[in-house]
């Protein structure tokens, strides 16, 4: 299954708004095959959220975002995942 990084511009977002958006994201996955939310990173400074998802295609990522009411600025497919542990 391909892995994607999704960049979302959200501006200033409260923790309550973030929690509500997270619940909508989880609910939107219901009935969608192959969409898995791995984790997200929030940048209050830049007003962005960077999300990591497994999904069958960029179109599936966009459909999930549409159902959840989430913005999508950019979708990048991950070609290779590396970590420091691999080089010790």
Please give the Cα distance from 62 to 84 (Å, whole number): 31
- Helix (H) or strand (E) holding 38, with range, is strand 36-43
Per-residue pLDDT reduced to its tens digit, 38-65: 999 999 999 999 999 999 999 999 999 9
Per-residue pLDDT reduced to its tens digit, 20-38: 999 999 999 998 999 999 9
pTM of the predicted structure, to 2 decimals: 0.90
Please give the Cα distance from 33 to 19 (Å, whole number): 23
Q: Quick one: pLDDT band at residue 81, thresholds 50, 70, 90?
A: very high
Domains observed in the chain: 3-82 (3.30.70.3090)
pLDDT value at residue 11: 94
């Amino acid at each position: 299954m391909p892995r994607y990084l999704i960049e979302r511009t959200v501006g200033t977002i409260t923790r309550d708004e973030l929690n509500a958006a997270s619940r909508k994201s989880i609910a939107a996955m219901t009935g969608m095959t192959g969409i898995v939310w791995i984790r997200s990173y929030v940048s209050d400074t830049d007003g962005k959220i960077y999300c990591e998802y497994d999904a069958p295609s960029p179109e599936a990522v966009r459909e999930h975002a549409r159902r959840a009411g989430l913005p999508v600025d950019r979708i990048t497919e991950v070609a290779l995942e590396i970590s420091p542990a691999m080089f010790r």
